[in-house]
Chains A and B, each alone.
Chain A
Amino acid sequence: MRTMTAPRTRPLRDPAPSKWGYRWQRWMLTPGVRTGLRIGVPTLVLALAAGAWASNDTNRAMIIGRYDQLKAAIQHRPEFMVAGLAITGADEELASTVTELVPVKFPISSFDLDLEAMRAKVAGLAAVKDVYVRVGDAGALEIGITPRQPVALWRTAEGLRLIDSEGVFAGNVAQRAERRDLPLIAGEGAEDNIDEALALFRSAAPIAERVRGLVRIGNRRWDMVLDRDQRIQLPSEGPVAALDRVIGLEQSQDLLARDVALVDVRNPNRPTVRLQRDAVAATRNAVTTGANN
């Protein structure tokens, strides 16, 4: 005979969720809520804890101090240190000026160097055409300078100045004697026509001993000034060719060695020569006395 194993009938259990329990469970199963609980709540707790800890001033100061310390420790590693200054491409005078201009106490961390400002400062010097500033090999602060090459002296109301081939101011000179090697120019607009002036000086090489300089007249044409107050007035068009003719005359007939005050070749068709005042009188005397005959 078989028996019922559990014949007892208890009151029926109907485990049903309450309406709010059901809603709560559904809410908790919503994907957004699940994600929020999994990620948002831990994040929030961490953020709150961190905020509470950081709200204490000493803690914040400690963090900042620790940070600065760490930063300094890294920045002052020997790999980042700059030990010396190496200036290339400058003469001694310029180098000493630049050294004064760059006030750096070595050794210094390369993080503390403001290379841009340094470069701007050095590039501001008149004698410097171009410059690069970098932290190079072996911890040296390299300043590579391309100096301006002065090609002429320019006499202005303020004094003598050096100018380079682009007509840019490249320094001051106290006396003409300091730079005998450079030709002298003067007059309004002389610095803008430096190429022409240099060509004229090259053409005047045979009489270079006697040339004192070039004067720009009316910002239009050149006068070449020689010693003994001689002057060659050149045209605004084709001055080099005109000068060549004068040089030719000088070489063939010793024109300039004579008592000539002015050679005017402004009009190429009608070159004119003015004699010295005394020469005029002497010539006249000679004619009357017939000395030459």
Chain B
Amino acid sequence: MRDLYETQRAMRNVRKAAMQRGVIAILDVGTSKIACLVLRFDGPGRLAQVEGIGALAGQSQFRVIGAATTRSRGVRFGEIDAMQETERAIRTAVQAAQKMAEVRVDHVIACFSGARPRSYGLDGAVDVDSGIVTEADISRVLASCDVPDFGHDRDVLHAQPVNFALDHRSGMADPRGQVGNRLATDLHLMTVDATAIRNLFFCIKRCDLELAGLASSAYVAGVSSLVEDEQELGAACVDLGGGTTGISVFMKKHMIYSDAVRMGGDHVTGDISMGLQVPMQTAERIKTFYGGVMATGMDDREMIEIGGDTGDWERDRRTVSRAELIGIMRPRIEEILEEVRARLDAAGFEHLPSQQIVLTGGGSQVPGLDGLAAKILGQQVRLGRPLRVQGLPQAATGPAFSVAVGCALFAAHPQDEWWDFDIPAETYPARSLKRAVKWFKDNW
């Protein structure tokens, strides 16, 4: 875990360097598409000076100057499956975005959805020596968290302190400088498969880019599509992607739980393809044009020419009614939502004060999905679109880009993570050296 700490710290330094240069790229490596945004940071935004407007989560600091999307290749379930293919896809997206931005980007913040994320809630407590909480105390309390044995093949992607408690007071965001005796913290730890991270690292390195940060796309989708009240009071963001469906639960502006269902829009397309005996591309097209989840009487009469393209144009003039299409799509979407429901139940979502559920991602564009989701997930369901950021092209404002936009926000305003604090001195390997110096000082 030590080397990961170093890696993450190194990435933070790279991010700082990129901020100084002012240009950074956002890469959303998804199963169905790879999106690349080029951001330009030019100091605090114009809006910051106006009274009554807060920091806006940092989105007034940057401007999107390049955006490109390409069909994803070689990615399955949000994990890199065929490295060369993915590398080519990343190159395509980055090149197009650079061309639009007319500037070269060297630093990239990537997010990905798969790799079996798993959430852990950790807690730790230490006695405050000096009576006043200092940064060193926070480092110590974070280091005192009892890290579970999540296996050697998994890496920590996020480790965010979500709560601090000082003596009997809990729910503190920043205990520094406060007086108390015992400092306790809750840490949300999210681990993913180490191989997935390594593959992504390698792919990005092969594209001559430097990684300035990594994020889970479930998390960043929540950052961009949940409004502030929802993040504060408790809400779940369901990111219906191509290969996976990411779930992130927010509370008090921190992600407290994250999970992913390994099913998504591609599975719906696969079902259509199998059910109607058409190629995947045709199935994708039919899904996006005529897809739905609530059949009405009208849909029985609406016939869709599916054009099997079997080469027998004279005889292969099959048509299906839209009701049939919905009949194929609905069970799969229901299954996904049921699975999401199960994950949320397992996480204890019903205990949150507010149980808002926000559906976002490309899969949330299916007409009638909010009605179906309300039946399965509960009444407080809405469809979410990403926050508006400056300079984002109209084509990239849909819910399919909530991950990319969220990652941009994450780049502008990253949350404090465990590796943003120094390692406490007593666990430092150079301690023996310090002791030697002390011995010299004492004896000479």
Contact = CB atoms under 8 A, between A and B. Distances in A.
B83 interface: no
Interface stretch (A17-25, A36-44, A144-152): A17-25
Given A14-B71, A17-B92, A29 B307 contact: no
Interface string B305-334: 111010000000001000000000000000
B102 interface: yes
Interface string B73-100: 1000000000000001101101100110
Interface in A157-195: none
A108 B61 CA distance: 71
Category for how many chain B residues contact A:
20 to 34
Contacts of B302: 1-2
A15 interface: yes
Contact of B98 (A12, A15, A29): A29
A23 B285 CA distance: 34
A137 B88 CA distance: 83
User: Which of B71, B88, B104 has the most chain A CB atoms closer than 10 A to its own CB?
Assistant: B104
Contacts of B104: 26, 29-31
A23 B305 CA distance: 45
B281 interface: yes
B47 interface: no
A58 interface: no
Interface string B52-88: 0000000000000000000101000000000000001
A12 B71 CA distance: 10
Given A23-B208, A29-B98, A29-B103, A4 B88 contact: no
Nearest to B301: A1
B279 interface: yes
Given A7-B282, A14-B73, A26-B95, 13 more contacts: A1-B304, A4-B286, A4-B305, A4-B307, A8-B309, A9-B281, A14-B71, A14-B89, A22-B208, A25-B98, A26-B208, A29-B102, A31-B103
Interface of B: 71, 73, 88-89, 91-92, 94-95, 98-99, 102-104, 207-208, 279, 281-282, 285-286, 289-290, 302-307, 309, 319
16 contacts: A2-B290, A2-B302, A3-B305, A4-B282, A4-B304, A7-B305, A7-B306, A9-B281, A12-B281, A14-B88, A16-B88, A16-B91, A17-B91, A17-B92, A22-B94, A29-B102
